[in-house]
């Protein structure tokens, strides 16, 4: 008889590792878009963003209209880092950052580099970082006119076992393409549970 508990734990670990890899990519993309969004504001970009904002010299003449969607997205990214970075640093036992909460790009990098360890120490915090990263990266992408296409995953569906999973970025879901299944889950969470130790 096979060791089903060990197989199940190994499968959950693979699913979590795949989820972490996708989320780290979202954090890297969010950092890139944050810099580009700051550049769209010109002189208005000289805000309290913590040294990451793009500084452009003032030019005579008319200025482009102020984009509230850009301002709101930048503020939400800054709030995300300000609220969650201290928790991430505490979970990773890194201590407080110098000028804590001020350097957005550095904060996103710390979150990405340590996300695997965060999930092993505090899965709830890992989910919070993941959910915000996916949503903010998608919002930033919309500003640049990005409309992502669905793409396939290699991992099997947790509900039917078939390798038929697709990420649908526009709906923020992972959906099984097996017509007999059709299982759907949010793209920013790991299912069914986090593995915290050996099965009893």
At residue 1, the pLDDT reads 47
Q: Which of these, 142, 134, 192, 145, lies nearest to 167 by C-alpha position?
A: 134
Other beta carbons within 10 Å of 141: 17
Return the pLDDT at 43.
56
86 vs 114: CA distance, rounded Å: 13
Residues with Cβ within 8 Å of residue 19, at least 6 apart in sequence:
130, 190
User: CA-based Rg of the chain, rounded to a whole angstrom?
Assistant: 20
* Residue 69 CA, distance from chain mean position: 19
Give the closest residue to 30 by CA, choosing from 85, 89, 73. 73
pLDDT (0 to 100) of residue 149: 79
Cβ–Cβ under 8 Å, residues 183 and 164: no
State the DSSP H helix or E strand holding residue 165, giving kind and residue range, or none if neither: strand 165-168
Instruction: Look at residue 200 in the predicted model and tell me its pLDDT.
Output: 37
Cα–Cα dist 99/163, whole Å = 46
DSSP H/E element including 185: strand 184-186
**pLDDT for residue 99:** 57
Question: What is the pTM for the complete model shown?
Answer: 0.71
- State the pLDDT at residue 100: 44
Which pLDDT does position 156 carry in this prediction? 86
**200 residues of the chain, pLDDT tens digit each:** 467 778 878 877 888 888 899 899 999 999 999 999 988 876 554 444 445 544 444 555 566 677 889 999 999 999 999 999 999 999 999 877 765 445 899 999 999 999 999 999 999 999 999 999 999 998 999 899 887 778 888 888 888 988 888 888 777 788 999 999 989 988 776 654 444 444 33
Determine contact, residues 165/152, Cβ cutoff 8 Å.
yes
């Amino acid at each position: 008889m096979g060791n089903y508990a060990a197989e199940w734990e190994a499968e959950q670990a693979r699913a979590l590792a795949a989820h972490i890899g996708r989320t780290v990519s979202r954090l890297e993309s969010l950092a890139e878009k944050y810099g580009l969004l700051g550049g769209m504001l010109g002189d208005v970009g000289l805000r309290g963003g913590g040294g990451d904002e793009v500084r452009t010299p003032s030019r005579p003449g008319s200025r482009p209209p102020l984009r509230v969607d850009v301002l709101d997205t930048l503020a939400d990214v800054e709030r995300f880092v300000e609220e969650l970075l201290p928790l991430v640093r505490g979970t990773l036992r890194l201590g407080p950052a110098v000028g804590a909460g001020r350097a957005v790009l550095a904060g996103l990098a710390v979150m990405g580099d340590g996300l695997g360890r965060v999930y092993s120490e505090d899965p709830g915090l890992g989910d919070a970082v993941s959910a915000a990263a996916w949503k903010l990266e998608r919002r930033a992408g919309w500003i640049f006119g990005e409309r992502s296409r669905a793409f396939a995953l290699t991992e099997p569906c947790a509900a039917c076992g078939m390798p038929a999973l697709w990420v649908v970025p526009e709906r923020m879901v992972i959906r099984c393409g097996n017509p007999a299944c059709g299982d759907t889950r949010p793209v920013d969470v790991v299912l069914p549970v986090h593995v915290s130790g050996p099965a009893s």
